[in-house]
Amino acid sequence: MPKVLISDKLSPAAIEIFRTRGVETDVKTGLSPAELRAIIGAYDGLAIRSASKVTKELLEAAPNLKVVGRAGIGVDNVDIKAATAHGVVVMNTPFGNAITTAEHAIAMMFALARQLPEASASTRAGKWEKNRFMGVELTAKTLGIIGCGNIGSIVADRAVGLKMKVIAFDPFLSDKRAVELGVEKVELPELFARADFITLHTPLVDGTRYIINAAAIATMKQGVRIINCARGGLVEEAALLEGLQSGKVAGAALDVFEVEPAKENPLFALENVVCTPHLGASTAEAQENVALQVAEQMSDYLLTGAVSNAINVPAISAEDAPRVRPYMELARRLGEFAGQLTQAKDGVITHVTIEYEGAVAQLNHKPLTAAALAGLMAPMITGANMVNAPVLARERGIEVTETVHDRASEYQTLIRLTIATKTNTRSVAGTLFAGSKARLVEIKGIPVEADFSRHMLYVTNQDKPGFIGRFGATLSDAGINIATFHLGRAAAGGDAICLVSLDEPLPETVLDAVRALPLVVQATPVTF
Ligand SMILES: NC(=O)c1ccc[n+]([C@@H]2O[C@H](COP(=O)([O-])OP(=O)(O)OC[C@H]3O[C@@H](n4cnc5c(N)ncnc54)[C@H](O)[C@@H]3O)[C@@H](O)[C@H]2O)c1
Ligand SMILES: O=C(O)[C@H](O)COP(=O)(O)O
ipTM of this complex: 0.99
CA-nearest residue for atom 7, ligand 2, is: 50
pLDDT at 108: 98
Question: Coil, strand or helix: which one is 479?
Answer: coil
Query: Looking at residue 343, what is its pLDDT?
Result: 57
3-class SS of residue 12:
helix
- State residue 249's pLDDT score: 98
Average pLDDT over residues 397-408: 88
Q: What is the number of H-type helices and E-type strands within the chain?
A: 17, 22
pLDDT category at 349 given cuts 50, 70, 90 is confident
CB-CB neighbours of 251 under 10 Å: 23
- Domain 453-528, second-level architecture: 2-Layer Sandwich (3.30)
Alpha-carbon distance of 440 to 492, in angstroms, equals 22
Q: Which residues contact 284 (CB under 8 A, 6 or more apart)?
A: none
Residue 481 Cα, ligand 1 centroid: separation in angstroms?
62
Q: In angstroms, rounded to a whole number, what is the distance separating the alpha carbons of residues 91 and 88?
A: 10
- Beta-carbon contacts of residue 490 (< 8 Å; ≥ 6 apart): 444, 445, 446, 496
d(CA 151, CA 496): 62
User: Rounded to the nearest 10 degrees, what angle do helices 284-304 and 12-21 cross at?
Assistant: 20
Residue-wise pLDDT for 42-70, tens only, equals: 999 999 999 999 999 999 999 999 999 99
* Averaged pLDDT for residues 384-398: 88
For ligand 2, mutation pick of 10, 48, 73 (most atoms within 8 Å of CB): 73
Please state the atom number of ligand 2 nearest to the C-alpha of residue 72: 3
On the question of pLDDT at 346 being above 70, the answer is no
Instruction: Confirm whether 98-275 and 316-448 share one CATH topology.
Output: no
DSSP reduced 3-state for 73: coil
Distance 223 CA to ligand 1 centre (A): 25
Is the pLDDT confidence value at 6 over 90?
yes
Nearest ligand 2 atom, CA 92 = 3
Q: Pick the residue with more confidence: 405 or 267?
A: 267
pTM: 0.80
In the chain, where the domains are located: 3-93+285-304, 98-275, 316-448, 453-528
pLDDT at residue 321, as a whole number: 81
Domain 316-448: what homologous superfamily? D-3-phosphoglycerate dehydrogenase; domain 3 (3.30.1330.90)
Classify domain 3-93+285-304 by CATH architecture: 3-Layer(aba) Sandwich (3.40)
Mean pLDDT on 142-155 = 96
Helices (H), ranges, 30-134: 33-39, 56-60, 80-85, 98-114, 116-124
Q: pLDDT over 70 for what percent of the chain?
A: 99
Architecture in CATH for domain 98-275: 3-Layer(aba) Sandwich (3.40)
Residue 345 pLDDT: 53
CA geometry: angle at 111 spanning 107 and 115, to 5°? 175
Structure letter (DSSP) for residue 361: G
pLDDT-wise least confident of 149-163, 175-189, 317-331, 446-460: 317-331
Q: How many CB atoms lie within 10 A of CB 450?
A: 20
The C-alpha angle with vertex 416 and arms to 412 and 418, in degrees rounded to 5, equals 165
DSSP state, residue 51: S
Residue 457: pLDDT band (50, 70, 90) is: very high
User: Residue range 61-88: average pLDDT?
Assistant: 94
Please give the Cα distance from 150 to 157 (Å, whole number).
Answer: 11
Is 158's pLDDT higher than 60? yes
pLDDT band at 422 (very low <50, low <70, confident <90, very high): confident
- All residues at 6 or more sequence positions from 231 whose CB lies less than 8 Å from its CB, including other chains: 74, 76, 200, 202, 203, 204, 256
Which mutation among 80, 202, 290 tests ligand 1's pocket best, with the greatest number of atoms within 8 A of CB?
A: 202
> Which ligand number lies closest to the CA of residue 156?
1
Question: Does residue 327 register a pLDDT over 80?
Answer: yes
pLDDT of residue 493 exceeding 80, the answer is: no
H-state helical runs in 345-491: 366-377, 389-395, 467-477
Instruction: Give the whole-number percent of the chain exceeding pLDDT 90.
Output: 80
- 467: β partners: none
- Bridge partners (DSSP) of residue 485 are 500
Nearest residue to 145 (alpha-carbon basis) of 169, 177, 178, 124: 169
Q: Is the pLDDT of residue 382 over 80?
A: no
The chain-wide mean pLDDT, for the chain, equals 93
